Structure 1
Amino acid sequence: MRNFMINSKWGVLLLSAVLVTACGTSSATSSAVQATATAAATTVQQNTTPSGVQLASAKLADLVTFDEEDTLTTWSADNSTTIALNGTSATISGSGAEAKAGLVTINAAGTYVLSGKLTDGQLVVNVQDKGTVHLVFNGVDIQDSDSAPVYIKQAGKVILTLQEGTENTLTDGANYVFEDAASDEPGAALFSKADLTINGTGKLTVNASYKDGITSKDDLKIMSGTIEVHAADDGIIGRDMVAVQEGTITITADGDGIKSTNDEDAAKGFVAIAAGTFDIKAGNDGIQAETALLTDGGTYTIVSGGGNANGGVKTEDRGGMSAPPGGWTQGTVPAAPSGTAATTDATADAVADAAATEAGADEAAAAETESTSAKGLKAGGNMTVNSGSFTIDAADDAVHSNSNVTITGGELTLASGDDGIHAEATVTIASGKIEITKSYEGIEGANIIVSGGETKVVASDDGVNVSGGNEQSAGGAQGQSTDTAAHVLTISGGDLTVDATGDGLDSNGSIVMTGGNVIANGPTNGGNGTLDYDGTFELSGGYLVAAGSSGMAQAPSEDSSQYSLLMTYTAAQEAGTLVHLEDNEGNTLLTFAPSKTYQTVAISSPELKEGATYTLYTGGTSTGTEVNGLYADGQYSGGTKVTDFEITSSVTYLSESGVTTGNTSNRGGGGGFGGGARPEGGTPPEGGTWQGDGTPPDRGTAPQGGTQPQATTGTEGTSSM
């Protein structure tokens, strides 16, 4: 075969997207798609998003204001009271404070400069007139064996300045003695019942053996400084808010790293970070907000729950039964649900008992997960990442919101024992660079919108999963929704690369694609599909290549306005075997090396034209530059021609014999198998047989311990796998 130069627009576009900065990636969506996505997101948000500060996309100024007073670090000896700590006593020069043995009490507003060491004592702030107290730590070491070293009982506001060039330490004991037996306060080594601001350029080390490191029952603002916390429970807590403008913060905590806890006021309970450097090792969540969590910048290294290696063992949900290790093999699927005509009463009872047992186990697991949540970033309301550099290794979800996740910039490298990014409502990726190096499911949400950015996903189950929620309705199993219109994966821009052991792009609703570049390396087992949708996949723009197994393969919908093809091979092709597509003039449309064994390849490009003829090759080599499996420029040679074909319909189904007759109704969206009928000359998936009328293969044998499932003809529609 002759050599020639590759001038694929697809390869150039994808290569360029990798070379430019992530924040510069953006794409406009069509008005129709935007309306669809917005309507779907609005429907979900109305049901799940609190009012007040819960903005789908926000800036730090929407949540918090840093007052001029918060930046106050200056002081003078003439206008302040000095407190010199000395073992078990203190010497006070000035007014507003008193010392009794190891107890130092501040009872008036003003500025207090502290230095020295208390070996077993306490600093108490108790200002009745709600004035502002300015504490200056000028080389302080306070140890208290049975209570909080610093206890702010009452004040209008406390500003704690870490004096430049100083190191300050607070250390408590493992057991507290409370003034009131019914009280649990103070509960942290630095405990404030008033608004607390920390600033300055010095260092504060907090050793909290009893419970929490730093706690404010009101607002907590960190303006600057170096803060190191070692905590038996949570590291840093601000009940109403935690707001960080700058600083270097290191936390080792058996509980949560940083969190805000107010669950009674939707305008509070948030975490907002403008900048700073964060190194957090947390037994539970890294950063957790009861309501909103927002970052406008910062550098974050977060390990939660010991990292992804401590994630729970995950099995693929197949409507009440778990998949065997490695997933379902081609031609084998779980037993049919009870109640079908071919299921005996005994089998139905066995299936019901198994489902009940598993449901109970799932509930217990859910309760355990709730009590030991180990997520990297977690928000009860909306989460917005506008900027920042994140390296997160989480036993649970790396990024999680009970409402919406919106990413408009930044760089995120995520490893998770569960989901990489999870939202109960909508995940929106508008810009930024995201790499999910390990996950069970890569990105999951009731709706997912990708309009920009560069996103790479590695998942042991589904790569991108538009879930159907937990509602149950007629014809739908628990955990799946039959309202496919309410759940949409929308892709209008950006680069999305998926490597999934389960489904590559999975929507328990529909998929709408108007732009962007999508590369999906899907499953090698026949119980999953690289493209998997229950409704429709309307494709009108962008570039798509999806390679994987053939057992559950789908192509875009027949009513798409951009042309696609689905090639099904008789036998599986080895990983790295090139797929090369060119037009009748020898111009390259695609040269692609799937990263795993594959038997089908779906391709869609704006360059595919009706009435034009094309040639598909397999194998060979390319001298071009490879990015995510796609080659740009260079020469392709040495491949084997598979088939010549002409584009005559929106979806062209191919086998080694040429064009086959495709099924216009894809599985889940009206029946059918894999988006097309039996390929001419092809063979069924391993363990299955083709039906005489060209309908899907028999579902093969049940996994060990299951019953023989019935064949699905596709005439009544099938549920998503």
Structure 2
Amino acid sequence: MRRLIYPLIPLSLTAMVLAGCASTTSSAATSETSSSFAAETVAVDSELTADAVLAANEDATVTRDDEWSEADADDIDLSSVDGTLTIDAAGVYRLTGSLEGQVVVAAPEDAVVVLLLDGVDIANPDGAAIDVQTADDVAIVTAAGTTNTVSDAASYADDVDANAAIHSTVDLTLSGSGTLQVTGNGNDGIVTTDDLVVLSGEIVVDAADDALRGKDALVIEGGTLDLTAGGDGLKSDQDDDETRGYVWIDGGHLTVQSGDDAISAATDVVVTDGVVDLTATGATTEDSAKGIVAGAVAVVDGGDLTIDATDDGVHSDGSIGFGGGVVTISSGDDGVHAEQRLEIRDGSVTVTDSFEGLEAVDIAVSGGEVDVTASDDGINAASGDPAGDTGPGTPQADTGESIVFSGGTVVVVGGLDGIDSNGSLTFSGGEVRVAGLFTGGDGALDANGDITFDGGTVIATGGIHGTLGGSQSWIAAAATGSTGSEVTIGDDTVLYTADADFGAVFYSDPTLTSGTTYEVFIDGSSVATATSGDVVESQAGPGGQAPGGGAPGGGGQRP
């Protein structure tokens, strides 16, 4: 996988200019885009799967429990140490007792050092409590049945190197079956400038800034982690190497409460297993506290994630892929936001609350279960090209974005548009149920380009804006109902409960026969008839279109 930074070149405009309203911004706070549209974008040449992303990254270094023996441990009682304990040789060291001071590891560069914490209390009022300065690899292991506490200074000078309760300049592994409680009073909790790997144990961190930071990589394989951070919860920030700077969660039970991003990676965030509960709450409403932030790719292929964020739930400067697991998101801005591509292949993605639910330049849903609720657009394909959004009532151009549904089950409730593309909108499989407004330029389906029906089932309540076509018939009717109304089309062709109030019904399915007239029932009462391919006039608000408005030749199939 290669990640390149390049200016996004304006896409050529199509000759067809369509009426409709397709938003190009993700929130009211998004800055205006200049007319000379150019944006820095991360290009990723890779499949959006965990296997592909991990294969493109360097493996993290880990010291596993079978690489050392407790029987070889040298015992050290910290209560007998005056100020500083310095470990200058490879080996296993069992630490007990209390120390007001510092444990320093200054071993040869080829040394492997294991610190076995067996009921320690290490507090340093003047700096880091554990300072790993030199070695090859270091492991901190908690003994079974013990609670171990580590805390540091209340503040640090700007030029100090070790500025965390546990600070390391070499690869660091955390494991064991005991408890490690870390208080980062002055800055971070546990930090390494190389790889940080958590294998097991109960780890509780309360940090003024970041809770856990592995500069080159941060990997969680297991354990129970309870992290409270004034800054980021889990962080990897190596931005000089495209194969580094990633966070990978492959197990464990994580609870993160952060004042900034709950998980932040310079390159990739990958989740393949584990139970992860993220709460990202900024100190003020202007803080951009996000649940997950990736500089290149974010992938969820497993696990159970719950995200509550004041900003985006999952955000990537590149692309995002969902291939498994269960994800539930509540956000103050976008539920899921990718600057490039968003793919949902499998798993469950639920956005319970958002400004915009799912947003990317290109969106593809080929499987899984998707449920989105948004106060603005439910699903939005937008690039930021101002040609795609020239204001209400003004013709807008197809700027090349795309939304494709080829499988899965999708439910969308949008406060304005249900599904909105500044380019094209294609249905070729799966089942999509969408609710949007039926006033002005907003609707259930809204595209600046073609809306194509080539397969799958589409149930829409609200206005339709775009140029309709494809090989599959559709019907549309003016029919008013409320949230909870039961809608039946034809001889029980479809029966569903409306997700929001509506003023029109649109339906496309492979079972529809071209030219056949179907009766529309709301709560058991016949309210309209519609012939597949016909457009039924309706009472749209100012600037609105009848359902199916803009269809070439008034038909639901291509001429």
613 and 492 in structure 1: CA distance in 2 versus 1, 3 angstrom threshold? same
Aligned to 1:575: 483
Amino acid across the alignment from 1:486: G
Distance 1:486 1:116 in 2: 65
Q: Does 1:206 align with 2:182?
A: yes
Distance 1:485 1:561, change over 3 A: farther
8 Å contact from structure 1 (residues 109, 127) kept in 2: yes
> Which residue of structure 2 lines up, in the alignment, with residue 405 of structure 1?
320
Match of 1:630 in 2: none
**Match for residue 631 of structure 1?**
none
Higher strand share: 2
Q: 2:126 aligns with which of 146, 151, 157?
A: 146
Q: Is the aligned partner of 1:75 residue 2:69?
A: yes
Which one of 251, 258, 266 corresponds to residue 282 of structure 1? Answer: 258
2:475 equivalent among 565, 590, 595: 565
Pick one of 104, 107, 114 that aligns with 1:124. 104
In 2, Cα distance between equivalents of 1:471 and 1:482: 11
Aligned to 1:428: 343
Q: Any idea what SS the aligned residue of 1:534 has?
A: strand
Distance 2:469 2:291 in 1: 41
Residue identity matched to 1:108? A
CA contact (8 A) 1:125 1:152 kept: yes
String of CA shifts for 1:330-357, please: whole Å, max 9, x gaps.
xxxxxxxxxxxxxxxxxxxxxxxxxxxx
Stretch moving more, 607-616 or 246-255: 607-616
Figure out how many residues of one structure are paired with residues of the other and give that number: 508
Asked if structure 2 preserves the Cα contact closer than 8 Å seen for 1:578 and 1:593, the reply is: yes
Are 1:130 and 1:154, in contact at CA under 8 Å, matched by a contact in 2?
no
| Pairing partner for 2:513 from 609, 630, 633 | 609
Q: Deviations over 1:125-172 (max 9, x none)?
A: 112333111111111110001100000111111111111121111011
Q: Paired residue for 1:384?
A: 299
- Are 1:311 and 1:396, in contact at CA under 8 Å, matched by a contact in 2? no
Amino acid at match of 2:305: F
Say which SS state the counterpart of residue 315 (structure 2) adopts.
strand
Q: Which residue of 1 aligns with 2:43?
A: 49
The answer to whether the Cα contact below 8 Å between 1:145 and 1:175 also exists between their aligned partners in 2 is no
Q: Which amino acid aligns with 2:534?
A: T
Match of 2:270 among 282, 290, 294: 294
1:134-533 alignment, distance < 5 Å: 134-176=114-156, 183-305=159-281, 372-467=287-382, 469-472=383-386, 477=390, 484=398, 486-523=400-437, 525-533=439-447
Structure 2 alignment gaps of length 5 or more: 1-37, 553-559
Q: Residue 77 of structure 2 is aligned with which of 77, 84, 91? A: 84
Shift of 1:64: 5.7
CA distance in 1, matches of 2:77, 2:527: 87
**Which deviations, in whole Å up to 9, do the C-alpha atoms of 1:180-238 show, x marking residues without a partner?**
xx723211100001111111111100011100000000111111111000000110000
Aligned to 1:653: 535
Q: 1:545 to 1:221 in 2, by over 3 A?
A: same
Assess, with a 3 A threshold, how the Cα gap between structure 1 residues 45 and 383 changes in structure 2: closer, same or farther: farther
TM-aligned CA deviation for residue 275 of structure 1 = 0.5
In the alignment, which of 545, 550, 554 is matched to residue 465 of structure 2? 554
Tell me the CA shift for residue 524 of structure 1: 5.6
Question: Hey, what does 1:642 align to over in structure 2?
Answer: 528
- Report the alpha carbon displacement of residue 272 of structure 1 after superposing the two structures with TM: 0.9
Are the counterparts in 2 of residues 45 and 403 from structure 1 also a CA contact under 8 Å?
Answer: no
Equivalent of 1:618, from 516, 519, 522? 522
Cα 1:192–1:294 change in 2 (3 A) is same
Distance 2:274 2:125 in 1: 35
Q: In the alignment, residue 93 of structure 2 is paired with which amino acid?
A: Y
Cα separation, partners in 2 of 1:534 and 1:609, compared to 1, 3 Å: same
2:175 alignment partner AA = N
CA distance 1:396–1:481, shift in 2 (3 Å) = farther
In structure 2, the residue corresponding to 1:432 is in which secondary structure?
strand
Give per-residue Cα distances to partners, 1:592-621, cap 9 Å, x unaligned.
33232211111101110124332223332x
Q: Does 1:112 align with 2:112?
A: no
CA distance in 2 between partners of 1:432 and 1:488 (Å): 22
Structure 1 residues 554 and 68: alpha-carbon distance in aligned structure 2, compared to 1, 3 A threshold:
closer
Following TM superposition, by how much is the alpha carbon of 1:472 offset from its aligned partner in structure 2, in angstroms?
Answer: 4.7
Partner SS for 1:598: coil
Distance change in 2, residues 1:653/1:482 (3 Å): closer
User: How far apart are 1:46 and its partner, in Å?
Assistant: 12
Cα displacement (A) at 1:641: 4.7
C-alpha displacement at 1:683, in angstroms?
4.1
Please tell me the residue identity of whatever aligns with 1:456.
Answer: D
Structure 1 unaligned spans of 5+? 1-43, 91-100, 313-367, 621-638, 655-678, 698-713, 715-721
Q: 1:136 to 1:538 in 2, by over 3 A?
A: same
Query: How far has the Cα of 1:538 moved from its partner?
Result: 1.1
2:102 equivalent to 1:102 = no
Match of 1:35 in 2: none
Counterparts of 1:30-69 in structure 2, within 5 Å, are 48-49=42-43, 56-59=48-51, 62=55, 63=57, 65=59, 69=63
The answer to whether the 8 A contact 1:311-1:395 is kept is no
State the distance in 2 between where 1:390 and 1:423 align: 18
Distance 1:416 1:426 in 2: 20
Question: What whole-Å deviation, never above 9, does each CA across 1:419-440 have from its counterpart, x for those lacking one?
Answer: 1111011110001111111000
Q: 1:65 to 1:201 in 2, by over 3 A?
A: farther
